[in-house]
Structure 1
Amino acid sequence: MSMPFYVSPEQLMKDRADYARKGIARGRSVVVLQYDDGIAFATENPSRALHKISEIYDRIAFAAVGKYNEFENLRVAGVRYADLRGYSYDRTDVNARGLANAYAQTLGTVFTTESKPLEVELVVAEVGRSPDTDQIYRLSYDGSVADEHGHVVMGGQAESLSRAVEESWRPGMDLAEVVGLAVRVLGTVADGEDRTLAPQQLEVAVLDRTRPRRAFRRLHAPLLAELLGRAAGGDGRAGAAEGSGPGDDAAHELTQRPTPGEPSTTGLETDAAHDGRPTGEHGTDERA
């Protein structure tokens, strides 16, 4: 009788962590920045079909890096969690902290019990009525949660980009300033010339605290070009220029959340088949 193959628990956890970190590092970075009227999210993503930044609930947004099919399943599960809680209790009972805790349980369980961890890193953010009440949570592949303040960078060259953001970010920046900073940081290339990213190469969204209920909106290429021009010109009036009037269709286009299916009785579901949109179009190894 042959001896069974033995790997120490410490080595097993280390191997899983290394595997997840390498997968996440191959994705493009996401930058999350707090500004005077909300929270901005930016990433390099030329795809018009696959989103890395999405709405979860009225004032809550989700951003992710890693394998698209894995974090899309988590996004759908988060939408169902939020819709079920809001329907069962009250819409004000849905908050980023509860959603982050639910995600942490799912990520931690998969990391410790499954043979392969999820190759994802997440940010769950909620915009408050004032900058002091904003919430930003960063979740790692192993279920650990960090309460972040001001700014977050994850995926890709996260460490070097985080240093660049920390040097330039300050409280009270307006939308044009944080968008300009995010795009400049995303174009930073290690050991090479920095790139200039065009608006069509970017995915940018905000949680706008001035909106009465649904705070999430995407910033499309024409508005991005205007904001980047104002940032380059040093015009501090970008907060007023980005507008909040009903006639600004490009600025106020909202993403539609999927219609929630039957709620799971065992916690977070991770079955994207119930979502109303097709997923996995680029294969299971798609990384974003």
Structure 2
Amino acid sequence: MSSPFYVSPEQLMKDRADFARKGIARGRSVVAAQYADGLLFASENPSQALHKVSEIYDRIAFAAVGRYNEFENLRIAGVRLADMRGYAYDRRDVTGRGLANAYAQTLGTIFSSGGEKPYEVEIFVGEVGDVAADDQLFRLTYDGQVADEHGFAVMGGQVETVSEGLKDADLTGAPLADVLRAVVKALGHSDSGDRVIPTGHLEVAVLDRTRTQTRKFSRLSPARLDALLGDRGTATPAPAAEGDGDAGRAPTSPTVDDPRDPTDQVSGSVPPLEDPTTGEPPIAPPS
């Protein structure tokens, strides 16, 4: 009888981490930044239907990069968890910290499980407070690690390059227009030179504490982006290059961060966030 093939736990975890990191790096970057009146989320995304940035609850937003069907499953599970908790207890009991902890448990369980591949996703969970000091921004990695970010944070794609374009910008307490211009310029920054991203290829959303509505999430339209960004010169969209996570791939090869890929739809069961031990998904409240 032949002996089973042995792989050390350290090597197994390293291989799984390398696999997830390579998949996430093929996507396009998402930037989250604080501004005077809330939180800003921006990414280069030509699709007008499939989003990387979405609303979870009244004051909570979700942004992700990586494999679309995987982070869409996580987004749906987060919405269900928030709705159930707000319905069963109180809307004030739904917090960004609680949602980030639930996501961390789910991602950590999937990463350490040997029965399935790790999720190729990274996530931002942002919550806007009544004042700037109460704003919260959490970054979650593929293995369930949680980091409390301040100022700005970048995930996916060319993280170092985009961060390099933002580190010299003074964004503390800056108005929305100034922060937006700095973030969009950083998204177009590259080693080969800066490019101007067309407004129609930008996905930008904010959590605005000054909104009179209970829901603070707002998605910025191309017309408003044009007004905020002003004259930026001739727009130069990203070329479709082989190896890019968002373009230049054959339909038979699933992309990592391609919201335009018609074959990359939401599939599979939604990860249970309420009770990862028993595996029971949360039950939606009656309408």
> Could you say whether these structures have the same fold, taking a TM-score greater than 0.5 normalized by the shorter chain as the test?
yes
Structure 1 distance, partners of 2:232, 2:211, is 23
Is contact 1:29–1:153 with CA below 8 Å preserved after alignment? yes
Instruction: State the AA in 1 paired with 2:145.
Output: S
How much is the aligned-residue C-alpha RMSD, in angstroms? 2.2
Distance 1:265 1:59, change over 3 A: closer
Instruction: State the AA in 2 paired with 1:180.
Output: R
Q: Report the equivalent of 2:248.
A: none
Percentage identity across aligned positions?
62
Distance 1:179 1:231, change over 3 A: farther
The structure that is helix-richer by fraction is 1
Structure 2 distance, partners of 1:52, 1:84, is 23
Structure 2 distance, partners of 1:181, 1:128, is 23
What is the TM-score with the length of structure 1 in the denominator? 0.80
Identify unmatched segments of 5+ residues in structure 2. Answer: 234-269
Alignment length, in residue pairs? 242
Structure 2 distance, partners of 1:187, 1:24, is 18
Instruction: Map 1:145-224 onto structure 2 (within 5 A).
Output: 145-190=146-191, 192-212=192-212, 213-224=214-225
Is contact 2:78–2:273 with CA below 8 Å preserved after alignment? no
Instruction: State the AA in 2 paired with 1:40.
Output: L
Q: Is the partner of 2:34 in helix, strand or coil?
A: strand
Give deviations 1:105-130, integer Å, cap 9, x for gaps: 00000000143100000000000011
Instruction: Map 1:80-95 onto structure 2 (within 5 A).
Output: 80-95=80-95
What is the TM-score with the length of structure 2 in the denominator? 0.80
Distance 1:26 1:265, change over 3 A: closer
More off after superposition, 69-78 vs 156-165: 156-165
Q: Report the equivalent of 1:266.
A: 275
Give deviations 1:70-118, integer Å, cap 9, x for gaps: 0000000000010000001100110000000000000000000143100
Is contact 1:34–1:150 with CA below 8 Å preserved after alignment? yes
Is contact 2:161–2:190 with CA below 8 Å preserved after alignment? no
Q: Report the equivalent of 2:65.
A: 65
Structure 2 distance, partners of 1:98, 1:166, is 29
Is contact 2:102–2:273 with CA below 8 Å preserved after alignment? no
Instruction: State the AA in 2 paired with 1:65.
Output: V
